[in-house]
Amino acid sequence: MKYFGEDVSIHSLNLSQGYMDLPPLSFHASLEEQWDEEEELEEIEAVLKVVPPAYHQYLAVFSKFKAEKIPPHCSCDHHIKLEGLIPPVVIIYSLSNQESETLQAYILENLEKGFIRPSSSSTGAPVLFVKKMDGGIHLCVDYRQLNAVTRKNRYPAPPMNQLLNVFNSATIFSKINLLGAYNLLRIKEGMST
């Protein structure tokens, strides 16, 4: 059975029969090494319970495991165009002990995932932390100086009242919280340093 484009085994016959309408078969497993197969199967079962069958072909967008992995390069990789300027040299903000520990944990976790890598660039962006409602802290990257020299991708937007009219007769609205949203956008090859 293909799951997120990979061959996986389903160890629960109820899952394969109940959700996939398949006869009892033997499936070949080919999961990535860092994934825990039991956790992956639990995730499949949980997702299949809440996602209507009509949307099962889009299961990859609901995968926490896929959100933890950098996607392959594709034709729609993100390209940052600078206005003929060199990216600015930035001042690094001072951090408290808690902020330093949180930053170190973030760096180690994202190096392991492949979302970031060591860089030899002479520029960067400072990080700062925002307090959460639960008392924790949330890491934010301050890209304002880079954004100031980035060529804007401008196009005409429809008037606000026209956009709101689209929702006039809507009765159901959805909210999406993307896991690792910006990490799932690949930067065009040759653009990162």
What secondary structure letter does DSSP report for 150? B
DSSP 3-state of 79: coil
Q: What is the pLDDT of residues 30-80, one digit of tens each?
A: 333 445 677 778 888 888 888 888 888 887 777 777 777 777 888 888 887
**For the whole model, what pTM was predicted?**
0.57
What secondary structure letter does DSSP report for 48? H
| Domains contained in the chain, CATH given | 2-67 (no CATH), 97-184 (3.10.10.10)
Cα gap 138→103, rounded to integer Å? 10
pLDDT recorded at residue 3 = 46
Cα gap 106→94, rounded to integer Å? 17
How many Cβ atoms from other residues are within 10 Å of residue 68's Cβ?
17
Q: Is the pLDDT of residue 181 over 90?
A: no
pLDDT recorded at residue 177 = 64
Given a contact cutoff of 8 angstroms between Cβ atoms, the answer to whether 149 and 85 are in contact is yes
Cα gap 168→192, rounded to integer Å? 43
DSSP 3-state of 63: coil
Given a contact cutoff of 8 angstroms between Cβ atoms, the answer to whether 80 and 117 are in contact is no
What secondary structure letter does DSSP report for 35? S
